[in-house]
């Protein structure tokens, strides 16, 4: 199966308008300077605060998972709107702070918040994004006991996310990381919020949990497949589709799964080339080329996609187990989304 055969599921579009509406109701208007930074990051306004149309707003994967899970379990998607919007805001809080951490000047084809307004304001913009999300979830529509439970789930998820972010930073400064350590890290950094999206969707549907945990397993495997596919695209993604050159994550010295695997497999000259490249303060273009050659020789691209496929299969198995309990349309969308994420080209 390749990219051409897997179309994006309609679910990725279906919830956009309700998500957008809910998010816009959550982000306050005043003080404008502060919240215009949030609106800018979310693609709603330009850097002067004037409304814009068609700025890329990302895939909205987490809210889609939340809405879809809620509908699959028989509740109207509106029940999940606050949780879905909260998840997207929390995800964007982490992106605003990520960009500061990585010194990235561009995201989704536009200057990043910190690069326009400085690190200080960027830090507070990220903080504001998270607090308005917290407040929305705490005062939103579900009944009291559920809101409390939802807030706890979300808090746990972003504590894991923060711990994962930190581990990721640690790894950059370390020579050898095992693939096991790497997978453990991404299960926190990326996986925790994706799993939380499924959990909050189920909670919004007042799900009784009688699938024996199969939905959670779906979320766990999906999260892992998603991140490793991301890692693959970060190195070999088609530049005309991703807008980034081949070898981009190598140039940025990101130790993503293919590189970690290459470290594990490399010996002799290949190992030497890796150590030399990642030991340099900055990689020359020749070094980037050399690393790409080493990854090719060691076939880590193929091996990485094989891992994506295995995780995807396990996600699909979990879905199959819970299938009889789900509404057929939503179940079909979940299957299609799972396959799409494993083979997407952006």
Nearer Cβ to its own copies (17/29): 29
- Closest approach, Cβ 85 to its own copies, in A, equals 16
Reading phi first (left if > 0) and then psi (alpha if -120 to 50, else beta), residue 118 is in: left
- Closest approach, Cβ 137 to its own copies, in A, equals 10
* Cβ count within 10 A of residue 301: 17
Nearer Cβ to its own copies (138/246): 138
- Closest approach, Cβ 98 to its own copies, in A, equals 9
Nearer Cβ to its own copies (25/241): 25
Given a contact cutoff of 8 angstroms between Cβ atoms, the answer to whether 276 and 306 are in contact is no
List interacting residues with its own copies (CB under 8 A).
Answer: 31, 33-34, 97, 100-102, 119-121, 123-124, 126-128, 131-132, 134-135, 138-139, 144-145, 147-148, 151-152, 155-156, 158-159, 162-163, 165-167, 169-170
Q: What H or E segment, with its residue span, contains residue 119?
A: helix 113-139
Given a contact cutoff of 8 angstroms between Cβ atoms, the answer to whether 160 and 188 are in contact is yes
Cβ partners under 8 Å of residue 271, min gap 6: 263
- Closest approach, Cβ 71 to its own copies, in A, equals 27
- Closest approach, Cβ 267 to its own copies, in A, equals 30
Instruction: State whether residue 282 is helix, strand or coil.
Output: coil
Tokens coding 286: 């020749």
Nearer Cβ to its own copies (86/287): 86
Q: Exposure string (b/e) for 25-58, b if CB count within 10 Å is 16 or more?
A: ebbeeeeeeebbbbbbbbbbbeeeeeeeeeeebe
Q: Where are the alpha helices (DSSP H) in 245-299?
A: 248-251, 257-265, 268-279, 285-297
Nearer Cβ to its own copies (157/274): 157
Nearer Cβ to its own copies (165/312): 165
Given a contact cutoff of 8 angstroms between Cβ atoms, the answer to whether 117 and 159 are in contact is no
- Closest approach, Cβ 144 to its own copies, in A, equals 7
């Amino acid at each position: 199966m390749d990219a051409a055969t897997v179309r994006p599921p309609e679910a990725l579009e279906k919830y956009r308008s309700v998500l957008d509406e809910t998010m816009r109701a959550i982000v306050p208007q005043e003080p404008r300077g502060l919240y215009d930074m949030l609106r800018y990051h979310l693609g709603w306004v330009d850097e002067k605060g004037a409304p814009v149309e068609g700025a890329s707003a990302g895939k909205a994967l987490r809210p889609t998972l939340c809405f879809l899970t809620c509908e699959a379990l028989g509740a109207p998607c509106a029940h999940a709107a606050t949780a879905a919007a909260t998840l997207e805001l929390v995800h964007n809080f982490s992106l605003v702070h990520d960009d500061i951490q990585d010194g990235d000047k561009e995201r989704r084809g536009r200057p990043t918040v910190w690069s326009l307004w400085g690190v200080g304001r960027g830090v507070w913009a990220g903080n504001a994004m998270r607090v308005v999300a917290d407040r929305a979830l705490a005062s939103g529509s579900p009944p009291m006991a559920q809101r409390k439970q939802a807030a706890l789930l979300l808090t746990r998820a972003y504590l894991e996310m923060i711990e994962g972010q930190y581990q990721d930073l640690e790894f950059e400064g370390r020579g050898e990381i095992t693939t096991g350590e790497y997978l453990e890290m991404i299960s926190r950094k990326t996986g925790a919020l994706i799993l939380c999206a499924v959990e909050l969707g189920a909670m919004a549907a007042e799900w009784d949990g009688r699938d024996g945990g199969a939905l959670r397993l779906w979320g766990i495997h999906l999260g892992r497949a998603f991140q490793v596919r991301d890692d693959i695209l970060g190195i070999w993604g088609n530049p005309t589709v991703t807008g980034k050159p081949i070898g981009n994550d190598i140039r940025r010295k990101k130790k993503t799964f293919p590189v970690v695997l290459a470290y594990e497999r490399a010996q002799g000259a290949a190992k030497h080339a890796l150590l030399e490249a990642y030991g340099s303060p900055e990689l020359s273009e020749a070094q980037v080329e050399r690393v790409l050659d080493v990854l090719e020789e060691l076939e880590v691209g193929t091996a990485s996609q094989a891992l994506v496929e295995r995780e995807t299969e396990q996600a699909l198995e979990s879905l199959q187990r819970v299938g009889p309990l789900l509404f057929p349309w939503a179940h079909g969308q979940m299957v299609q989304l799972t396959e799409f994420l494993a083979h997407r080209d952006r």
